[in-house]
Every structure is written in structure tokens, then in C-alpha cells.
């Protein structure tokens, strides 16, 4: 058992370059359904312990499971979103092992005939680069209850007693198994983030990490770069945030490099991630692995999925987060950071798309949407899509700005008024007389006025302190009560100062 922390600093770039990490992710995601997987209890988080239970999810003698059709539908939807195959025949199996928070002492899961097979998750990383990871399968199962152990560290070992809450027992869970296609912790996080976004978009899960509705394990191995065979893998468990996924994988890669570099051998085992210590520690070796004695659950009949049903579900799929990201970046020319911001707020993205359709100017639109509009939304606590500014009104504003009909200061003012009152941007500009003054003669008069009023500044400029131009431009804008075209004002100022 090795629990020594290995700081990343100990690993030289040469060492990190010598080895290639190979990572495969398995994650459990709680499905969003009205009821639990095999009984009529509400599928809700929390509650007083053992209040959201019935004979079925408590595994009372004689109780029988009945599958939740909505959960099966969600799984097929999730699979199709990633291009998975939906086999005609599927079934539920029992995974047998004893644990106090598992009421039946077997979990109803799927073994050799999962509801979805294959598929590819296309995702992007924080830096905007794109990658893909194949899925082995997504299958349906039920969640367990929660144990609380009365020991110093909350672990079963050493506990004098344990409390079990079965409220979560029987909540529908999908297990997504990814192929070992990931090559870094960053890729693992990118993969998981896109999985989570996609499940939210599909409405199959809320993916609330803080409520444990996404839990993931990572299989990590390393090999010499260029090697064909995989190294021996360790399975890392107990990572409950994307941050801990990144840290745990990085720490495990470092540990394995250290083991190999000191002449050791990585053993196949399960390792737990210790968030506070920042290390993984050995939990169980392969020799101690469970024999789950899988067999088809005789309480449940096989699931037959017709091609018609699959096509019905497929027809309801709309643009997915990855596709949206690609459209924003490739078609709209939005940078990946802002594209991600939009994609991660589906209602905002939908609102944005309507505004772009009206404005035909994605760049200017995104600047408003993620700039002043988001600021107003944050300040008021009302999401953009629920506010009074309509996509059409914003599109008008974009057009008014890009055609120089109003200047940016006025635009800000129009937007604030629209946010508070709604209505049309064009009408507002007219009503408030905010149209930008681009009439050369009118602006020239103001410029002359300002130059006459500031002889000292004019001398400074002519003496070489050209940075006073900003002050003078500001003075012109002030004289025009913000309506002068600032570019024109500056141009005229330069002209007159240079001529003097």
C-alpha cells in the first residue's frame, strides 16, 4: 500500500514525455424521472432518512420490481445522442454482492445485453481543441441507499455502528463505460464535461455533482510512448467533482511513473482518491475482486426495442452541445471560451441563436449577450432568456450600433432601458433622441467649441503630449451629451490640432 504523495514537481518534463497515460472513464449518472427505477416512489433527492421507500425499494419479502419505461426511454435517448447502436434485445441481470445499503443484496443491472452499445463522445477541451472518445456501452441499473458509518473517518472499517438511508435506493442510474481513448487528465475532464452537458440538454439527468448525481471511476495506466500494449491499470474511485477527477488522475499518473522509474511494477487494483491528502490509496487488489455471479433477473422479462421506437426517439433529438460549440466556433467565429459559456447555458444559447437569426451578426451579438446583457442579468438575478429584452430588440440594437446609428455609450443606455422596460430598440433611440450625431458640420462646431475652451490642453498637444487627445474627445462627447460619433470627433480634433 502506497500513500506517499508525489508532487508533480518531482516529475521532469522528460519523464512526463517518456510515458503516455491511457485513461478510460466509467461514470454513473442518476436519471431524471418522476419515479424510481422499479417502484412508484418519487425520484427526489434528500428527505428525512427512510421516508421515501416502499416494499419494493426496501426489498421486503415478496416485493417485485417493475421497470420504469421513462428510464428506458432516457437511456435510448442518451445512446442515440452519441450515435450508439440500440440492440433489439436487451435484458436486466442481477449483480450479486452483499452490502448493507443494497436492500436485496443484489443490484439489478445489465450485464451482456445493455440497452445501448458503442457510440462516440465528441468533446472539446478547455483550450478549445477537439477530441473524441468511444463509448463501450451505456446500461441501466438502480442506485443503492447511503450508509453513514459511526467511525472517525466515516469509513466502514473501524465503525462501531452504521446507519442506512434507503431514500436513494432504487433511483434509476445509467452507467456509461468509455473506451480507453483518453490520454490526459484534461481530456478526461473534457470528456466528462461534454457528457454532463449532453445529458442536461437531453433532459435525461440534472447532473448535479453536489448531490452525487454523477459519480465517476477512472481506469488509469501508463505505457512508454509509442508502445502498442497497455500497461497494468489501476481503477480510481471516489472522485466527486471534475476538479478531483483532474487531480486524482494526475496524481495517479505521477504515482505510476514513479513506481516504474524506481524499478517497481504497477499492480491491478482499486484505489480510492483521498481529496484532502491529494493522493490515491490502495483499496482492493484483483485477487480480492468480487465474483458478482451475474445472471438474468427472473423477475423481469427481456426488453425488446422496436426499430420504430428507436426512430421515434431519434426524431426528437435536436442540436447537441458539441454540435452547437462547433457551429459557434466554426460558423460564427466565436472564441472557444465564449462559445463554451453560451453552450453551457442552454436557454441563453437558444435566446442567442434567435437574436443572431435576426441580427445576422453573431460577433456583435455575442458581445452584447455575454457582456452587458449578462451583467444586467447577474445584477438582477433574472436570466437573459426570462428578461424583458427580446432577441429581436437586441438584434435592432446590434444593427443600430454596427451601422453607427448610435454610439456604444448610447447602446449601453438603450440596453439598460430595454432591460427595465422592454420594447423596441429603434423606438427607444428615437424617443430618447439618442441617435448618434455623425453630421460633420455639427460635430465640427462642437470641436471648435472645445478647442476654444481648452487652450492649455491644445498647447500641450502641440508640444508633443498627444495623449491629451482622449481628454479632448471626451469633452466633445460630453458637449454632445454622448451623441456625437466619437470616431468622427477624434478625426476632426486631430485634423484641427495638426493644422494649428
Partner 1 sequence: MDPITDSAREIAAAVNLREISAAEVAERLIPHVARLDRHIGAYLELTPALMRERAAIVDRRIAAGERLPLAGVPVAIKDNMCLTGTHTTAGSKILRDFIAPYTATVVQRLLDAGALPVGKTNLDEFAMGSSGENSALGVTRNPYDLDRVPGGSSAGSAAAVGGFEATLSFGSDTGGSIREPAAFCNVVGFKPTYGRVSRYGLIAFASSLDQIGPFARTVADAALAYDTIGGHDPLDATSVDRPLEPTADGLREDLHGVRVGIVKEFALANLADAGVRACYESAYRELAALGAELVEVELPTADYGLATYYLIAPAECSSNLARFDGVRYGLRVDGDDVGEMYERTRAAGFGPEVKRRILIGTYALSSGYYDAYYLKAQKARTRVAEDFARAFERCDVIASPAAASPAFGFKAKSDPVAMYLMDYYTIPVSLAGLPALSVPCGAVIPEGGTRPMPMGLQLATPLFTERALLGYAHAYERATRHAERLAPVEIAAA
Work out whether 49 is an interface residue with partner 1 (CB under 8 A).
no
Q: How far is the CB of 270 from partner 1 (least distance, A)?
A: 18
Interface residue with partner 1, options 58, 209, 350, 367 (CB under 8 A):
58
Interior angle at CA 347, CA 207 and CA 393, nearest 5? 165
Q: At closest approach, how far in Å is the CB of 302 from partner 1?
A: 11
Distances (CA, A) of 237 to 220, 251, 270, 283, 305: 11, 13, 7, 9, 33
In the list 5, 34, 44, 60, the residue contacting partner 1 (rule: CB under 8 A) is: 60
- Of 216, 55, 60, 45, the C-alpha closest to 146 is 45
C-alpha neighbours within 13 Å on the C-beta side of residue 263: 0
* Residue in the block written with cell 468480487: 290
Instruction: Tell me if 85 contacts partner 1 by CB under 8 A.
Output: no
Is 83 an interacting residue with respect to partner 1 (CB under 8 A)? no
Q: What CA–CA distance (Å, rounded) separates 453 from 445?
A: 12
- Asked if residue 500 binds partner 1 (CB under 8 A), the reply is no
Q: Which of 49, 83, 87, 100 binds partner 1 (CB under 8 A)?
A: 100
Which one of the spans 1-9, 95-103, 310-318, 349-357 is the region binding partner 1 (CB under 8 A)?
A: 95-103
Of the candidate spans 19-27, 288-296, 442-450, 481-489, the one that interacts with partner 1 by CB under 8 A turns out to be 288-296
Q: And the C-alpha cell for 417? A: 432601458
Contacts of 292 (CB under 8 A, 6+ apart): 95, 96, 97
State the DSSP code for 127.
Answer: T
β partners of residue 163:
148
Q: Which stretch binds partner 1 (CB under 8 A): 14-22, 26-34, 62-70, 312-320?
A: 62-70
Total number of residues shown for the chain: 500
Q: Which of 35, 96, 282, 283 binds partner 1 (CB under 8 A)?
A: 96
The rounded distance, in Å, linking the Cα atoms of 180 and 247 is 18
Please tell me whether residue 153 binds partner 1 under the rule CB under 8 A.
Answer: no
* Span near partner 1 by CB under 8 A; candidates 120-128, 241-249, 271-279, 298-306: 298-306
What character string, x for contact with partner 1 (CB under 8 A) and - otherwise, covers 380-399? --------------------
The verdict on 300 binding partner 1 (CB under 8 A) reads yes
Considering CB under 8 A, how many residues would be counted as binding partner 1? 30
286 touches partner 1 by CB under 8 A? no
- Upper half-sphere CA count for residue 142 (Cβ side, 13 Å): 33
Tell me how far apart the alpha carbons of residues 469 and 462 are, in angstroms, rounded to a whole number: 11
The closest of 33, 116, 124, 123 to 80, measured between CA atoms, is 116
Contact positions toward partner 1, by CB under 8 A?
55, 58-67, 94, 96, 98, 100, 103-106, 156, 162, 164, 291, 293-295, 298-301
Amino acid at each position: 500500500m502506497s500513500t506517499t504523495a508525489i508532487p508533480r514537481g518531482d516529475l521532469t518534463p522528460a519523464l512526463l514525455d517518456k510515458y503516455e497515460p491511457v485513461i478510460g472513464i466509467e461514470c454513473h449518472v442518476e436519471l431524471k424521472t418522476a419515479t424510481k427505477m422499479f417502484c412508484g416512489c418519487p425520484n427526489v433527492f434528500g428527505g428525512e432518512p427512510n421516508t421515501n421507500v416502499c416494499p419494493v425499494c426496501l426489498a421486503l419479502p415478496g416485493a417485485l420490481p417493475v421497470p420504469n419505461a421513462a428510464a428506458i426511454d432516457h437511456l435510448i435517448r442518451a445512446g442515440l445522442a452519441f450515435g450508439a447502436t440500440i440492440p433489439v434485445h436487451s435484458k436486466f441481470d442481477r449483480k450479486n454482492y452483499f452490502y448493507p445499503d443494497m436492500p436485496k443484496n443484489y443490484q439489478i443491472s445489465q450485464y451482456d445485453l445493455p440497452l445501448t452499445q458503442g457510440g462516440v463522445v465528441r468533446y472539446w477541451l478547455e483550450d478549445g481543441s477537439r477530441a473524441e472518445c468511444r463509448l463501450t456501452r451505456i446500461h441501466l441499473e438502480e442506485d443503492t441507499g447511503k450508509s453513514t458509518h459511526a467511525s472517525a473517518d466515516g469509513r466502514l472499517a473501524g465503525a462501531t455502528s452504521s446507519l442506512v438511508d434507503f431514500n436513494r435506493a432504487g433511483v434509476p442510474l445509467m452507467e456509461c463505460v468509455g473506451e480507453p481513448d483518453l490520454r490526459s487528465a484534461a481530456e478526461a475532464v473534457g470528456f466528462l464535461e461534454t457528457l454532463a452537458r449532453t445529458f442536461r440538454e437531453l433532459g435525461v439527468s440534472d447532473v448535479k455533482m453536489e448531490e452525487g448525481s454523477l459519480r465517476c471511476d477512472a481506469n488509469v495506466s501508463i505505457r512508454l510512448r509509442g508502445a502498442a500494449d497497455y500497461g497494468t491499470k489501476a481503477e480510481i474511485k471516489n472522485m466527486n467533482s471534475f476538479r478531483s477527477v483532474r487531480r486524482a488522475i494526475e496524481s495517479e499518473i505521477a504515482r505510476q511513473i514513479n513506481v516504474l522509474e524506481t524499478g517497481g511494477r504497477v499492480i491491478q487494483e482499486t484505489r480510492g482518491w483521498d481529496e484532502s491528502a491529494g493522493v490515491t490509496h490502495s483499496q482492493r487488489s484483483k485477487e480480492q475482486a468480487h465474483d458478482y455471479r451475474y445472471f438474468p433477473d427472473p423477475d423481469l422479462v427481456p426488453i425488446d426495442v422496436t426499430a420504430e421506437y428507436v426512430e421515434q426517439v431519434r426524431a426528437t433529438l435536436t442540436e447537441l452541445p458539441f454540435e452547437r460549440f462547433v457551429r459557434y466556433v466554426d460558423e460564427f467565429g466565436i472564441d472557444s471560451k465564449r462559445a463554451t459559456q453560451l453552450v453551457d447555458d442552454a436557454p441563453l444559447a437558444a435566446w442567442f441563436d434567435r437574436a443572431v437569426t435576426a441580427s445576422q451578426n453573431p460577433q456583435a451579438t455575442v458581445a452584447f449577450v455575454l457582456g452587458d446583457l449578462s451583467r444586467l442579468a447577474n445584477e438582477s438575478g433574472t436570466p437573459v432568456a426570462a428578461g424583458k429584452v427580446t432577441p429581436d430588440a437586441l438584434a435592432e440594437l446590434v444593427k443600430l450600433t454596427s451601422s453607427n446609428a448610435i454610439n456604444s455609450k448610447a447602446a449601453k443606455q438603450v440596453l439598460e432601458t430595454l432591460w427595465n422596460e422592454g420594447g423596441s430598440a429603434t423606438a427607444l433611440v428615437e424617443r430618447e433622441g439618442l441617435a448618434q450625431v455623425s453630421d460633420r458640420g455639427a460635430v465640427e462646431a462642437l470641436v471648435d467649441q472645445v478647442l476654444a475652451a481648452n487652450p492649455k490642453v491644445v498647447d500641450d498637444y502641440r508640444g508633443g503630449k498627444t495623449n491629451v487627445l482622449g481628454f479632448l474627445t471626451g469633452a466633445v462627447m460630453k458637449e454632445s451629451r454622448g451623441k456625437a460619433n466619437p470616431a468622427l470627433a477624434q478625426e476632426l480634433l486631430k485634423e484641427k490640432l495638426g493644422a494649428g
